[in-house]
Chain A
Amino acid sequence: GENVEQHPSTLSVQEGDSAVIKCTYSDSASNYFPWYKQELGKRPQLIIDIRSNVGEKKDQRIAVTLNKTAKHFSLHITETQPEDSAVYFCGQTMELSFGAGTTVTVRA
């Protein structure tokens, strides 16, 4: 079953705009929150992760924020580019499960 809910399922943004994807989890013992990117026909790849002892982590144009009280974490992509078009998954490592995925399309 899905132990982490991911929204939205699809997201279309104009190039240069920001994209935000949110995941809500149920297990309060969760302490590690990864995000994966999967391009069409390729394998998922880890792009950023965060541990429960921090609230935000950035890596160039991507960032992840964590709200442990509300049990949700979000992926933020700024200044989107065509190469950001992909499916993004959040991970729920306590249950070894993933969100259902968000298909991001960046319009030129």
Chain B
Amino acid sequence: NAGVTQTPKFQVLKTGQSMTLQCAQDMNHNSMYWYRQDPGMGLRLIYYSASEGTTDKGEVPNGYNVSRLNKREFSLRLESAAPSQTSVYFCASSEREGSYGYTFGSGTRLTVV
């Protein structure tokens, strides 16, 4: 039982490049999330998907897009990377939005130079 799988684990991008972070869960969870974690800033919500077919903006959505491809997969795309997007990105899932605990992926450490 893999839980939440994120790829890649590490990535270095040049300013202006694009990339997609992949996330998949095998727990039959309805809700999935993307957070970024910066030193001293805690975890900040980028986008979330309460259920298959829906996506909503979080606290820091600018510069990102998401796709809930199916119930298992939720991807995060950076269209034109900027140094301010250097961060650790975590995908998470939960049984439902709101009153349920999260299972996190192992994270993607992204550096934009």
Binding site for B on A (CB under 8 A): 1-2, 31-32, 34, 36, 42-46, 49, 51, 89, 91, 93-94, 96-101
Contact = CB atoms under 8 A, between A and B. Distances in A.
Interface of B: 33, 40-45, 48, 58-59, 90, 97-107
Most buried by B among A36, A94, A96: A96
A91 B43 CA distance: 10
22 contacts: A1-B59, A32-B98, A32-B99, A32-B100, A34-B101, A36-B102, A43-B104, A43-B107, A44-B43, A44-B102, A45-B104, A46-B101, A49-B101, A93-B99, A94-B98, A96-B33, A96-B48, A97-B59, A98-B43, A99-B42, A100-B42, A101-B42
Contacts of A49: 101
A58 B58 CA distance: 32
Nearest to A47: B101
Nearest to A100: B42
Contacts of B45: 96-97
B43 A43 contact: no
Nearest to A43: B104
Nearest to A33: B99
Contacts of A99: 42
Given A96-B33, A96-B48, A46 B102 contact: yes
